[in-house]
Amino acid sequence: MNIVALPAFDDNYIWLLQHGGQTVCVDPGDAAPVRAYLAQHGLQLNAVWLTHHHGDHTGGVAELKQQFPDCTVYGHAGLDADIRVGEGSHWQWQGAEVTVWHVPGHTARHVVYILKQGQQTHVFCGDTLFSAGCGRVFDGTAADLYRSLMRLNTLPENTLFYPAHEYTASNLRFAQAVEPDNADVAAAVEAAAHTPTLPVTLAHERRINPFLRVHLPAVQAAARQQDAAAADGAAVFAALRQWKNIF
């Protein structure tokens, strides 16, 4: 299986999966880079997987459907999709197992696509998890997003995450403010000079992502500098998310 990051807009990635003559793209906010890649490699588009409704993730769907009318669009209720997906939706793709999780927070209906191929798990996570960060809260809640991140954190440590934005360098600046003595964050800052920085493993994110490290005393102490009442994991997470909003 080949998974390619197609840059779009200023900092989006449209993930394109190709295996055995079948091609899927995830969150095509812009049709142009998808069409260009497919034309260059002589491929057809068979499916689109949508994580949520924001225009920078869905804006290219109509144009792609016009060029590839047999393409099947997957998305949650409320999206213009051919197949509705939600928590527990499941199918096979080219011998791999695809499962959908509902992960509210960034938006109320956000989903992720978990593709398991042999011993390797791939997660197309939209705007829920970023390297060294997480999505803003729009029509979800911080409590929702905390639970969603903690759920993603239960996956195997070698799981590969494919976020939809190249936010790593800016997220790491925030991570340094939270944990200035974290050597893993310092090393990641140097590595982030080279893009794409994605995908990333869960093991890596557990070392550098403050939103997955809310159980640690140093992260809790930093959060309480912003909100003295941040006592448990969810409250620490919410304090960090609010701090990041204005960072």
Give the model's confidence band at 85: pLDDT under 50 very low, under 70 low, under 90 confident, else very high.
very high
Q: Are 134 and 211 in contact (CB under 8 A)?
A: yes
Q: Are 73 and 47 in contact (CB under 8 A)?
A: yes
- Of 57, 76, 102, 110, the active-site residue reads 57
> Using only C-alpha atoms, what is the Rg of the chain?
18
Q: What is the mean pLDDT of the chain?
A: 97
Opening angle at CA 61, ends 129 and 57, nearest 5: 20
Instruction: Respond yes or no: is residue 53 known to be catalytic.
Output: no
Q: pTM for this structure?
A: 0.97
The 10s digit of each residue's pLDDT in 57-68 is 999 999 999 999
Instruction: Respond yes or no: is residue 52 known to be catalytic.
Output: yes
* DSSP assignments along 53-86, one per residue: --HHHHTTHHHHHHH-TTPEEEE-TTS--SEE--
- Of 30, 52, 53, 122, the active-site residue reads 52
Q: What percent of the chain has pLDDT over 90?
A: 98
Instruction: Respond yes or no: is residue 56 known to be catalytic.
Output: yes
Instruction: Respond yes or no: is residue 215 known to be catalytic.
Output: no
Instruction: Respond yes or no: is residue 184 known to be catalytic.
Output: no
pLDDT value at residue 83:
98
At 2 the three-state DSSP class reads strand
Looking at the predicted structure, is the pLDDT value of residue 196 above 90? yes
User: Residue 175 burial by CB count (10 A; 0-12/13-18/19+): exposed, middle or buried?
Assistant: buried
Q: How many CB atoms lie within 10 A of CB 197?
A: 21
Of the candidates 132, 143, 154, which has an alpha carbon nearest to the alpha carbon of residue 104? 143
Span 2-246 CATH architecture: 4-Layer Sandwich (3.60)
Give the model's confidence band at 231: pLDDT under 50 very low, under 70 low, under 90 confident, else very high.
confident
Instruction: Respond yes or no: is residue 54 known to be catalytic.
Output: yes
Name residue, tokens 């011993």: 119
Instruction: Respond yes or no: is residue 127 known to be catalytic.
Output: yes
- Of 53, 110, 165, 204, the active-site residue reads 165
Least confident of 119-123, 155-159, 228-232: 228-232
Domain ranges of the chain: 2-246
